[in-house]
Amino acid sequence: MLKIASPLVAFVAMVAAVPLPGAEAKAAEKKPFSARDLVLMERVSDPRVSPDGRFVAYQVRRTDLETNKGVNGLWLLDLKTPGAAPRMLSAPGVDANTPRWSPDAKAVYFLSSRTGSSQVWRLALDGGEAQPVTQLPLDVGSFMVSPDGRRLAVTLEVFPDAATLGETKKRLDEKAKPKASGLLFDKLFVRHWDTWANGTRAQLFTLPLDPVGAATGEPVLVSRGIDGDVPSKPFGDDSEYAFSPDGKTLYLNARIAGKAEAWSTNFDIYAAAADGSGAPRNLTADNPAWDGYPLASPDGRKLYYLAMKRAGFEADRFGIMELDLASGKKREVAPDWDRSAAALKISADGRTLYTNADDLGQNRLFAIDVASGKTKALTDQGNVGGFSLSADGIVYARSTLNAPADLFRSATTEGAKPTQLTQQNAVALASITFGDYEQFSFKGAKDETVYGYVMKPAGYLAGKKYPVAFLIHGGPQGSFGNEFHYRWNPQIYAGAGYAVVFIDFHGSTGYGQKFTDAVSGDWGGAPLEDLKKGWAFALEKFNFLDANRAAALGASYGGYMIAWIAGNWTEPWKCLVCHDGVFDTRLGTYSTDELWFDEWEMGGTQWEKPDLYERHNPLNHVAKWKTPMLVVQGALDYRVGAEHAIGIFTALQRRGIPSQFLYFPDENHWVLKPQNSLQWHETVLTWLNRWTTPAPAK
């Protein structure tokens, strides 16, 4: 049960302490990092500083290998007591996630499925057990407490024509009963990410909260009349809606569905009465591109949000916009800052906005002066995975290539030295040896500077040459930067005795929008040139790389690139690994879920621009394939469907090329289940070892 006794003995009553920052953990014999180590790492995220600045609540995901799943728990750290140890609020094994503070800082609200469905709970810090706030017939997807503490916003998936939540629940139960299994559709998004459409939509509701924080009455629909998901699917959360400071208005973003949802990126921001009265009002109808992630100013007069300029382009730059709610006047806050912002937070005086963004192989925190648009970086190395403001600074989660995420605190001044607050994996890390890494740059395609990283194997010995794992990131508008990744982690290969090289080719994020734009319409062009030049540069600069024992691996766009490399850059590679990669760009645009992506990347639909779809189509180069390849695919991947992997494997087998096919019936575009992750890594490393290990001397 979730329970604490009193403010004075709270930390004694809570359980599962971790060592203090700087505390010595008993060190076992050092060992290379393994896939099992990766799977069992505790994953820190979502820090939330209390309104009074005393505590930070955050989320930690632990892995239960027996049940083959991750279990989230809530943790609390006293920021005002020097040397205080983080403590676990939730009992081990009890699912609890998404910590959010009450406005008076006396309680933590959170989501938990401890009673069988996902509901909002509340834990008072003055003692007692956690109490249910909602007991609704449907799962709560996300929630938010109003600034005055009088209202709770929740998102629920409902049938738009259902009169009550109970009616939605009844219809879902009926659908689950054995009967004819056919599904009839009359518009696209028949499937999205890893789920087939069932007719429901995520919608925003509110409920009044009584003086003790419990929800009362029936939920009222706030997003009334909006034919779209609030928040968006598949990854939308509470950053897509926000209360006004007085709690009377909710701002939300939505993309209207209709027939065009599958090829539209036109999100708009709406203002709606928090009590459900009246129809939502569109505030950004003038922009046909993406507007989202609203945030009201502390005085309620301005609304800040993120906006793209080009309709249909999901990787356009997110600029920061300011809307004067009285006059309707809009302006871009930092038009000269050539980075794409993430969700915003604002200082108490309303003068400074905070966000994080990819930047030269890092993901940094930035402070933006609202008046002038002047931007300054608050962090240097590493990847910021979430942050929260306090009166005296900022608390954030940060990881690097050799450290899983922990919490740090820093002043909001440029160059301020951060203080590490947690060492969540201190005991596990004490016995692990990581590979050292280094960022480098070179002249790539278009004679432009391109960045990459090299990582030495764990236990590196000078003068020795090592086999190489050459990793290619997805997106293509993405980055393999200074981050501790839980699927494609270079330290796994370093731990297995490989040197690792990974390049942020043209199309990668964090190097300016022009650099990101460069991949569109040129999937097999400039990016491949960057990879070739980056490989040549790395071989010349780092003498521990063995050019004769190298393997290339990639997923998603990286998987596409592996299929493209198979027919267009065969010389260096002893073997290849293609995970969820596009085999036929023509088929890809007709079988994927989000059509806007292919239609932007290829300059139009396939019937309008057939030559552009053929220009860099891996299928057309199968005759030149000769390199052994491992193909990996998840059955629930509707972004790049299984037909691509089967096609690749068929081509390899028919040409007599050594190949294997690893198929996961229960995974999507990613491999998420712990045991599947272990199998994935074992299979991939076995494949690499098979082709990069020198033959024994005769």
- CB neighbours (10 Å) of residue 29? 6
User: How far apart, in whole angstroms, are the C-alpha atoms of residue 237 and residue 241?
Assistant: 8
The answer to whether residues 372 and 355 touch, using CB atoms and an 8 Å cutoff, is: no
The mean per-residue pLDDT over the stretch 554-564 comes to 98
Residues 6 or more apart in contact with residue 42 via CB below 8 angstroms: 60, 61, 62, 404, 424, 425
Predicted pLDDT of residue 298: 98
pLDDT band at 9 (very low <50, low <70, confident <90, very high): very low
| Active-site residue, from 192, 644, 669, 681 | 669
Q: Per residue in 627-651, pLDDT tens?
A: 999 999 999 999 999 999 999 999 9
The answer to whether residues 395 and 421 touch, using CB atoms and an 8 Å cutoff, is: yes
CA proximity to 30, closest of 494, 427, 433: 433
Looking at the chain, the number of H-run helices and the number of E-run strands are 13, 42
Asked whether residue 624 carries a pLDDT value surpassing 70, the answer given is: yes
Asked whether residue 18 carries a pLDDT value surpassing 50, the answer given is: no
Predicted pLDDT of residue 26: 42
User: How far apart, in whole angstroms, are the C-alpha atoms of residue 219 and residue 165?
Assistant: 9
Predicted pLDDT of residue 696: 60
pLDDT band at 6 (very low <50, low <70, confident <90, very high): very low
| Cα angle 33-38-42, degrees, rounded to a multiple of 5 | 125
Beta bridge partners of 306: 292, 320
Clarify whether 669 is annotated catalytic: yes
pLDDT band at 416 (very low <50, low <70, confident <90, very high): confident
Pairing of strands 375-377, 352-359: unpaired
User: How far apart, in whole angstroms, are the C-alpha atoms of residue 452 and residue 443?
Assistant: 11
- 3 state SS of 251: strand
The answer to whether residues 678 and 662 touch, using CB atoms and an 8 Å cutoff, is: no
User: How far apart, in whole angstroms, are the C-alpha atoms of residue 364 and residue 481?
Assistant: 11
CA proximity to 209, closest of 155, 149, 156, 135: 149
Residues 6 or more apart in contact with residue 44 via CB below 8 angstroms: 58, 59, 60, 385, 397, 404, 405, 406, 407, 422, 424
What single DSSP character describes residue 193?
A: T
Chain-wide mean pLDDT for the chain? Answer: 94
The mean per-residue pLDDT over the stretch 142-166 comes to 97
Asked whether residue 16 carries a pLDDT value surpassing 60, the answer given is: no
The mean per-residue pLDDT over the stretch 176-203 comes to 95
Asked whether residue 5 carries a pLDDT value surpassing 70, the answer given is: no
Q: What is the DSSP string of 55-96?
A: EEEEEEEEEETTTTEEEEEEEEEESSSTTPPPEE-SPTT---
Q: What are the distances in angstroms from CA 39 to CA 479, 668, 674?
A: 22, 18, 6
The residues spanned by each domain of the chain are: 133-172+188-332, 433-692
User: How far apart, in whole angstroms, are the C-alpha atoms of residue 520 and residue 477?
Assistant: 9
Q: What is the DSSP string of 574-635?
A: EEEEEES--S-HHHHHHH-S-HHHHHHHTTS-TTT-HHHHHHT-GGGGGGG--S-EEEEEET
User: Is residue 427 within a helix (H) or strand (E), and if so which, with residue range?
Assistant: helix 426-429
pLDDT band at 17 (very low <50, low <70, confident <90, very high): very low
User: How far apart, in whole angstroms, are the C-alpha atoms of residue 33 and residue 472?
Assistant: 21
Q: Per residue in 516-528, pLDDT tens?
A: 999 999 999 999 9
User: How far apart, in whole angstroms, are the C-alpha atoms of residue 389 and residue 374?
Assistant: 19
Asked whether residue 13 carries a pLDDT value surpassing 60, the answer given is: no
What single DSSP character describes residue 179?
A: S
Predicted pLDDT of residue 427: 96
| Active-site residue, from 340, 399, 410, 556 | 556
Asked whether residue 28 carries a pLDDT value surpassing 80, the answer given is: no
Q: Taking the CA of residue 642 as centre, how many other CA atoms within 13 Å lie in the half-sphere pointing to its CB?
A: 13
Predicted pLDDT of residue 261: 96
Predicted pLDDT of residue 4: 32
Q: Which of 37-41, 388-392, 538-542, 620-624 has the lowest mean pLDDT?
A: 388-392
User: How far apart, in whole angstroms, are the C-alpha atoms of residue 262 and residue 248?
Assistant: 33
Q: Name the percent of the chain lying above pLDDT 70.
A: 95
Asked whether residue 1 carries a pLDDT value surpassing 50, the answer given is: no
Q: Per residue in 688-697, pLDDT tens?
A: 999 998 766 4
The answer to whether residues 613 and 602 touch, using CB atoms and an 8 Å cutoff, is: yes
Beta bridge partners of 58: 75
- CB neighbours (10 Å) of residue 99? 24
Which region holds residue 642: left if phi is over 0, alpha if psi is between -120 and 50, else beta?
A: alpha
| Active-site residue, from 388, 637, 644, 677 | 637
Burial state string for 147-178 with b = 16 or more CB within 10 A and e = fewer than 16: bebbbbbbbbbbbeebeebeebbebbeeeeee
User: How far apart, in whole angstroms, are the C-alpha atoms of residue 416 and residue 364?
Assistant: 13
Q: What is the DSSP string of 451-505?
A: EEEEEPPTT--TT--EEEEEEE-SSSS----S---SSS-HHHHHHTT-EEEEEE-
Predicted pLDDT of residue 392: 86
Asked whether residue 14 carries a pLDDT value surpassing 70, the answer given is: no
Specify the CATH number of the domain 433-692. 3.40.50.1820
Q: Which of 22-36, 55-69, 133-147, 256-270 has the lowest mean pLDDT?
A: 22-36
E strands within 279-318? 281-282, 291-296, 302-307
User: How far apart, in whole angstroms, are the C-alpha atoms of residue 606 and residue 599?
Assistant: 8
Query: Among all chains, which residue has been given the structure tokens 């038009």?
Result: 335
The answer to whether residues 236 and 267 touch, using CB atoms and an 8 Å cutoff, is: no
User: How far apart, in whole angstroms, are the C-alpha atoms of residue 348 and residue 313?
Assistant: 34
Q: For the CA atoms of 525, 530, 533, 534, what is the dihedral angle to 10 degrees?
A: -150
Asked whether residue 70 carries a pLDDT value surpassing 50, the answer given is: yes
User: How far apart, in whole angstroms, are the C-alpha atoms of residue 339 and residue 362?
Assistant: 12
| Cα angle 45-51-57, degrees, rounded to a multiple of 5 | 25
Q: Name the percent of the chain lying above pLDDT 90.
A: 91
What amino acid occupies position 277?
S
Q: Per residue in 260-292, pLDDT tens?
A: 999 999 999 999 999 999 999 999 999 999 999
Q: Per residue in 648-660, pLDDT tens?
A: 999 999 999 999 9
Higher pLDDT among residues 20 and 568, named by residue: 568
Clarify whether 142 is annotated catalytic: no
The domain defined by 133-172+188-332 folds into: Neuraminidase (2.120.10)
- 3 state SS of 361: coil
